Amino acid sequence: MNSRPEREIIQEEEINLYDYWKVLVKRKKVFIGIFLVPLVIVTIIGLSLPRYYRGESEISIPTLPASNIPSVRTAPNIVRLIGHIDDSQKVKIFTNNPDAIVSVFISIPKTSTDKINVSIDAKTADIIPQAFTDLLDYINNLPRIKEEMAKISEQIDFKIKNLIEVKKANLIFLNDLSDAIKKKKSPFVNINPADLIKKDGDLSLEIMNLQQEKTTMMKAKELNINVGILGQLSITEQPSNSRIKQIIMITGLLSLFAGIFVIILLEYIDRMKAREK
């Protein structure tokens, strides 16, 4: 089977591309109308809309103390628990100036599971720092988060209580063994007192670590999850709205493809009519 020469294939492709270009030039008014009319309308509407100040930052979600309780305090779960912040939620979250908050965008960085990206658009720049504080307070008081923190606090208390009991029993055993050695009696068990002293020190260290973990967890207020803004809060100096630019770009691309599709469709219809004649 003979294949077509490569030069013939290239020439045919060039002819096809040239045919498309002729169609585009032939119906340029239709194409320009479909491309420019929506783009101009969206641009005028977008530029006439009020533009806002934007604050951006990251919120960190520190690791909890070791626990057998499945943690809901992860970035994906917190984003899911917060959900879409609509007007009714704005009133609950931003108690100081809910009307001045225009929109809130929350997302998770692709390279991290313990951070949340937050962007807040507001009518004035001075209320943005307080808005971030309000959002952190709202996260701190999510019912599921508080419930989990209460369980972990109880578990830490239970571990500390058990370790204290073991420490007391170990000290009693050490004292009895020391008395037997002092009275030159045969020890009732073959245990080195140094091992008991070491165990007492290990228990004391473990208790102290658990107490420090609980103190960290309870810092600032009861059941605080200790989330905090990472780095410096970034606030735009001039009112801006990047969404307007995105909408204009998307509209331009859609209008471009729509214009090409329509003129190709019209040309196809004309050719079908010519064939029928």
pLDDT of residue 230: 57
In a domain, 175, yes or no: yes
Is residue 109 domain-resident? yes
119 three-class SS: strand
* Residue 91: strand, helix, or coil: helix
Regarding whether 233 and 115 lie in a shared domain, the answer is: yes
Question: Residue 224: what pLDDT?
Answer: 45
- Pair 134, 233 in one domain: yes
Q: For residue 174, what are the contacts with CB-CB under 8 A and spacing of at least 6?
A: 193, 196, 197, 200
Q: Based on the fold, state whether residues 109 and 235 are members of the same structural domain.
A: yes
In a domain, 118, yes or no: yes
Which amino acid, residue 172?
I
* Residue 222 in domain: no
Q: Are residues 153 and 179 in the same domain?
A: yes
Angle at CA of residue 15, ends 12 and 20, nearest 5°: 130
Q: Residue 6: its pLDDT value, please?
A: 52
pLDDT tens-digit series, residues 52-76: 888 998 888 766 555 545 566 678 8
Q: Look at 11-15, 175-179, 193-197, 230-234 and tell me which has the smallest mean pLDDT.
A: 11-15
Q: What percentage of the chain has pLDDT greater than the value 70? A: 76
Within a domain: residue 201? Answer: yes
What pLDDT shows up at residue 155? 83
Residues 57 and 138 in one domain: yes
Looking at residue 222, the DSSP 8-state letter turns out to be T
- What does the pLDDT look like over 76-105, one tens digit per residue? 888 888 888 888 888 888 988 888 998 898
Q: Are residues 234 and 128 in the same domain?
A: yes
- The token pair at 102 is 């225009």
Q: Are residues 107 and 233 in the same domain?
A: yes
Per-residue pLDDT, 164: 92
Asked if residues 105 and 119 have their Cβ atoms less than 8 Å apart, the reply is yes
Q: What tens digit of pLDDT does each residue of 100-146 get?
A: 998 898 888 877 767 888 989 898 888 998 998 888 888 877 777 77
Report, as an integer, the average pLDDT of 155-165: 89
pLDDT band at 239 (very low <50, low <70, confident <90, very high): low
CATH number at residue 117: 3.30.70
Residue 224, in any domain of the structure: no
- Kindly state whether residue 68 falls inside one of the protein's structural domains: yes
**182 within some domain:** yes
* pLDDT band per the 50, 70, 90 thresholds, residue 27: confident
What mean pLDDT do residues 206-227 have? 65
Q: Please state the domain count of the chain.
A: 3
- In the structure, what pLDDT confidence band is assigned to residue 35 with cuts at 50, 70 and 90? confident
One-letter identity of residue 110: K
pLDDT tens for each residue of 174-204: 888 787 777 776 655 667 778 888 888 999 9
Domain that holds residue 187: 147-217
User: What is the CA angle 200-202-207, rounded to 5?
Assistant: 95
Residue with tokens 């979600």: 61
Instruction: Say whether both 117 and 233 belong to one domain.
Output: yes
Task: Give which of 105, 136, 109, 133 is closest to 119, Cα–Cα.
Answer: 105
What is the per-residue pLDDT for 77?
80
Q: Are residues 234 and 137 in the same domain?
A: yes
Regarding predicted confidence, which is higher, 148 or 43? 43
DSSP state, residue 186: P
Same domain for 131 and 195, yes or no, is: no
pLDDT band at 218 (very low <50, low <70, confident <90, very high): low
Domain check: are 126 and 253 in the same one? no
pLDDT band of residue 223 (cuts 50, 70, 90) is: very low
Same domain, residue pair 261 and 130:
no
Among candidate residues 229, 113, 210, the one with its CA nearest the CA of residue 152? 210
Has residue 38 got a pLDDT over 80?
yes
Whole-angstrom distance, CA of residue 6 vs CA of residue 222: 78
